[in-house]
Amino acid sequence: MRFSTLPVQGRLTPLVSLILRSWRPQWVCPACKVRPTPRRGLATGPKADGTKPYYVTTPIFYVNAAPHVGHMYTMVLTDVLKRWQVLKGREALLCTGTDEHGMKVGSILNCGCSMWLLKSYMKVQQAAAKASSDPKPFCDKGAEVFRALASRVELSNDHFVRTTDADHREAVEYAWHLLEQKGLIYESKHEGWYSVSDETFYPESQVHLILDPPTGRKIMASIETGKEVEWTSERNYHFRLSAFREPLLKFYEDNPEWVSPDFRMQDVVSHVKAGLEDLSISRPTSRLTWGIPVPTDPSQTIYVWLDALLNYITKAGYPWAPGAERAGGWPADVQVIGKDIVRFHCVYWPAFLMALDIEPPKRILTHAHWTLGKQKMAKSTGNVVNPFFALDRFGVDTMRYYMLHDGGITDDADYDNVHIIERYKKGLQGGIGNLTSRVMRGKGWNVANAVKKYANVDDHRAKLEAKGNGFYSKLVELPERVDGHVESLRPNLALKAIMNAVYNCNAFIQAEAPWALAKKLAELRQTDTDTVDEEQLILDQMEMVVYVCAETLRLCGIMLQPYMPGKAAILLDMIGVQKDRRGWEWCRFGVDATYGTPVVDLGYYTKGALFPPLTSDS
């Protein structure tokens, strides 16, 4: 989709277009005025087959305080979407990073408290504040914490963007010049209610008077976010957002599933239909020094949300060399955000992209929040859970499982260690772990023999379909059903579908009791009478049950790889699935006849279990 016919002023002439395409911002590091900014290479050329990589992004996270489990949830949710595409054989890219500009960061050095990592960083911060230096060292520290969280949670990110990166600054400056040349930026006096916490102005209709519980003060606050606002009057630059009301509504109409869930899409449409005011996109440098200066006016600093949103195309190679627009993955296939930043990503962001004649992302997945004690987790109130502590206690695969299983897309989820323990005992230890142990440690049968007998043999389909009240048929349909959930941006429902198959299989093996059949078979073989036919009948029945259960483990193990990379790999090792047979093309019932013999020592893991008992349930 192209946006060359937008009803805006100041269209570029061919000459100006040529100049801007060749223009590259030139600037010198403001701290030393002597060291040139490192330049980056642009992506060159699309793939030979004309396709682009699957591109998925997390929002970039503020470094003004430490991460909590809500940030971890966003990371894991995004990671599962990326890994699912890799599982299906598609090249995929994931971008995450940190937002390091704006008053929320810049004010930290002025207020004299770091809010986090206080002991280890207080001396650096205080020294920087006393010397009136910029907050870059503080941001460096914050970025490393988020980078560490990404690593600990096994985020398979290809990019880690920082808004203080030189290539990002170049991209922002380039975009500013384009918008300015198109007549989409103008200078004007702006008055309104401004929230430092949200980094945005709110109209009169979106603020109200409330009583602040911690202080008992009466304050004006944003109706949408609850953050305090203050009346501000200043001259700054504005973006002609109002000109994009109709183009945005047309885009929403043409892409009714663009925002997921659909009720948030409806909220976005209603917001735009109500009318759009032009957006203030700069702040006086006297009030905000920490950010990217307006290229043509150093007395103004670029609005943090314009700056921050452009990160997604920065790491996709913007500004693009001719012919390389899609090489870095843009347009993003899905951008994952929390529900509190919907307006910025679903109204401002597509408008900025339309103005730059860039295609918007294909989908926006908005998720709900994690609460603690039924209260929203927030760095400002301290009502948070340290994700590093949670990972240390329960392990990365358990936390990834819990986050995706209980995390909300439409509704908020309440975090509780008790819930984690319950999910571990029921789903992991009692579900997957128990089924694996029953199948692979069972006495009286050989899993590999059962697999060889029933895999790829059409003669047994009727027998299989007759077993277990339709369990076989549901198992055949499982991969397609799970894939449908993920492609619909409901990886939580996909995980629950996988786990339902595990629970149903445990019920199936309990009802069919292959251990009882094995015992009966052993008894018959010890008799002197001719029981060959009866023995064969029992053997076939026993191995059929074992095979169906082993196939359940194989299919679920393959599909659990994006969710629990470590444990899923161990599970597939335990049932003997070859490493080159763990992709999506092998995720169909009956296509692999080579597994069944463990490639690891089943007694190697703690107490010989895939999911051993927790060391403490308290």
User: Average pLDDT, stretch 177-206?
Assistant: 86
Residues 23 and 251: their CA atoms lie apart, in Å, by 30
User: What is the rounded average pLDDT for all residues in the chain?
Assistant: 85
Cβ neighbours for 322, distance < 8 A, ≥ 6 positions apart: 21
Task: Grade residue 18 by pLDDT with cuts at 50, 70 and 90.
Answer: very low
Residue type, 162: R
Q: Is pLDDT of 292 > 80?
A: yes
| Phi and psi angles of residue 583, each rounded to the nearest 5 degrees, phi first | -90, 175
Residue 159, SS3 per DSSP: strand
Q: Is pLDDT of 199 > 70?
A: no
Least confident of 203-207, 398-402, 443-447: 203-207
According to the model, what pLDDT value does residue 126 have? 37
In tens, the pLDDT along 210-232 reads: 988 777 888 999 887 888 898 88
**pLDDT higher for 376 or 591?**
591
- Please provide the CATH number assigned to the domain covering 416-608: 1.10.730.10
Residues 28 and 17: their CA atoms lie apart, in Å, by 25
According to the model, what pLDDT value does residue 382 have? 76
6-15, 375-384, 571-580: which has the highest mean pLDDT?
Answer: 571-580
Please provide the DSSP assignment of 307-360 as one string: HHHTHHHHTTTSSPPTT-TTTT-PSPSEEEEEGGGHHIIIIIHHHHHHHTT-PP
Which run of H or of E encompasses 54?
A: strand 54-57
Which run of H or of E encompasses 283?
A: strand 282-284
Query: What predicted TM-score, i.e. pTM, was given to this entire model?
Result: 0.84
Residues 280 and 517: their CA atoms lie apart, in Å, by 75
Q: Do 14-183+305-394 and 416-608 have matching folds?
A: no
Task: Grade residue 467 by pLDDT with cuts at 50, 70 and 90.
Answer: low
Residue 1 tokens read as 């989709």
- What's the order of all strands across the beta sheet hosting 413-415? 375-376, 370-372, 413-415
User: Average pLDDT, stretch 521-538?
Assistant: 87
In tens, the pLDDT along 405-436 reads: 999 999 999 999 999 999 999 999 999 999 99
Least confident of 203-207, 238-242, 557-561: 203-207
Cβ neighbours for 29, distance < 8 A, ≥ 6 positions apart: 35, 36, 37
Q: Is pLDDT of 159 > 90?
A: yes
The position carrying tokens 């409901």 is 490
Cβ neighbours for 253, distance < 8 A, ≥ 6 positions apart: none
What residues does each domain of the chain span?
Answer: 14-183+305-394, 416-608
Domain 14-183+305-394 has CATH 3.40.50.880: no
